[in-house]
Structure 1
Amino acid sequence: MLALKKKAEAIRLVERYFRTLKHDWMPENGYQNHFEAEKDVIDFVSHYNHRRCHSASNNLPPALFEQQAA
């Protein structure tokens, strides 16, 4: 049962991540090509992990939160 709860939580987090990418980052009209999309998604991952504050981590970016926890 614990494994199912962890799986459900992981799915919820992944869905939230992609919803943030889609609604807060991607241009409304999409991308002109694959390379433009790839670069933008890489920029999003960096922003999400190093600059975007998260309420679940005391309003710190995940990288800083993990660094302080170590």
Structure 2
Amino acid sequence: MLSIISPMQQDAIKQLLQDYKEEDVQFTFKEKQGIKMLFEASVENEAVVKKVKELIKTQPWGSVLMVQVTIV
């Protein structure tokens, strides 16, 4: 399970990951706990954590976000 902590753009992050269908990785939103969102990923490793951060930071709104992505 991936934990993504971001106080802003939560809906945009959720949509971005649910729409992502490349590199044999898929994300399924599970639940929201305050500013934390939990996603199930078809692959869970440090490369996927890095990919999620990269995906968020390459968005027009993502370069200024404070975001934390971890495996839980």
TM-score interval, smaller chain: 0.3 to 0.5
Give the number of the structure whose alpha-carbon radius of gyration is greater. 1
Where relative contact order (Cα < 8 A, 6+ residues apart) is larger, the structure is 2
Give me the TM-score of the superposition, normalised by structure 1: 0.34
Structure with the largest fraction of strand: 2
Structure with the largest fraction of helix: 1
